[in-house]
Amino acid sequence: GVVSTGAARLNGDIDPPFALVKSQDSRGQVQWKVDGLRADNQANPAAWKDNALVLFLNSFLNGSNTQETQRRRSSSTKARTQQAPGLFGSASEMVMQMPSIAVCYNERMNSVDRGDQLRIHHGYKHSVHHNSGQAIAWTFLFDTVLVNTYILQQKKKYNWKSYK
């Protein structure tokens, strides 16, 4: 099987209860540390909130595992970040329990951002004239292949033969 974790978007066919909570979060109506879970041992959706609610899809953690991690208080003044005023007290940092899904995603998020930057900078001019689902699938797959190939080339020096 494929082991993966990632953030899900509202327009990505996420479960309706998770989509509702995400839309409420943008209005500041969701409390800190909300966590929903449904494990079916294929794709496990989970929700976690500290500064903003993040929806996760994961294939190897079920959301019930936690670990201690160092967190900083948000400097944002948006309503969605102000739901737990007494959590940090006067401290700017604290060690807290977080779901392993969120910790795993946060530790590896830099790679995702770097891949997005490469994809934007080295874009391609390919228009897709089919239905929107096919267009999204084509762009995602093509971009993933481009970014992964680039990362593989950077990490290892392959001696591939040139073909004409």
pLDDT score, position 69: 85
Using pLDDT thresholds of 50, 70 and 90, give the confidence band for residue 54.
confident
Strands (E), 59-115: 66-72, 93-99
User: Region 86-115: what's the mean pLDDT?
Assistant: 73
Nearest alpha carbon to residue 73 among 103, 45, 105, 51: 51
- pTM, two decimals, is 0.49
User: Region 34-40: what's the mean pLDDT?
Assistant: 51
pLDDT score, position 1: 45
User: Region 39-66: what's the mean pLDDT?
Assistant: 70
Please name the residues in contact with 95: beta carbons below 8 A apart, sequence gap of 6 or more: 68, 69, 70, 71
